[in-house]
Structure 1
Amino acid sequence: MVIYRFLSGDDDSAFCHKVTKALSEGWLLYGEPHYVFDAAAGKMRCGQAVTKEVADQPYDPDRKLVDY
């Protein structure tokens, strides 16, 4: 089974660390990063989709994706 997450945050080093942590845990980048200007906050926000192949098991929407 492939699981999917979309990571988002301010366009700063903390976001880069979030993505790097996901990669170190076996997640793979999926597609291109996305950037948008948050006019209310006055700053750039970014997002990156990641996927991970996990052992076949029933999907449980109450389970945190990082726990697969």
Structure 2
Amino acid sequence: MTDQPPNGLPRYRLLTGPDDEKFCHRVSDALELGYRLYGSPAVTFDGDQVIAAQALLWRDEQS
């Protein structure tokens, strides 16, 4: 595994979006790239739907 994320992606990412299958796939895709979860997910209700957020950090060689 390299010490830098692929495709110029940042080392820290915060994924947000409706709490649905697409959001779960985005988080799963980031984990497959080599990111790791950072903290617990957060959710809120915007009046129409539940919005989720998940922070991710690039997994470096020391992790």
Fold conserved (TM > 0.5)?
yes
> Hey, which bits of structure 1, 4+ residues long, moved more than 3 A?
none
Q: 1:45 aligns with which of 48, 51, 55?
A: 51
1:16: which partner in 2? 24
Aligned counterparts of 2:50 and 2:28: Cα–Cα separation in 1: 19
Question: How high is the sequence identity, in percent, across the aligned residues?
Answer: 40
TM-score by length of 1: 0.70
TM-score by length of 2: 0.75
Aligned counterparts, 1:24-39, within 5 A: 24-39=32-47
Question: What residue ranges of structure 1 are gaps of 5+ in the alignment?
Answer: 56-68
Q: CA RMSD in A?
A: 2.0
Residue 8 of structure 1 aligns with an amino acid whose one-letter code is T
Q: Which has the larger radius of gyration?
A: 1
Aligned-residue offset at 1:54: 5.3
